[in-house]
Amino acid sequence: MFARTPRLLLRPRWADDAPALSRAIGEEAVVRNLAMAPWPYALGDAERFLGLPADPRHPSFLIMTRTAGAPRLIGGIALSPDPD
């Protein structure tokens, strides 16, 4: 599934996103706002995350900006089951 607006693109995660994901989560200002992420966050961590099997019942997407040049990773969103 893809969702596009003039400024944003919501799309599935791909293995090719590993370098951008590791750079983004490698920023301390970003990782401190995440519930669960290893620190320091390395390329291998991003590759492992992106390699997790996709569950169509609990989708996961990356959010990309489309405003200046090539799309750039700015976030992510996922649905997950509530254990309670």
pLDDT tens digit sequence for 54-80: 888 888 899 999 877 788 888 888 887
Mean pLDDT (whole number) for 16-22? 91
Mean pLDDT (whole number) for 38-58? 87
CB atoms closer than 10 angstroms to residue 45: 18
Average pLDDT, the chain: 85
Residue 2 identity (one-letter amino acid): F
CB atoms closer than 10 angstroms to residue 60: 16
State how far Cα 79 lies from the chain centre: 13
What percent of the chain clears pLDDT 90, i.e. is strictly above it?
13
pLDDT at res. 84: 61
Mean pLDDT (whole number) for 34-38? 77
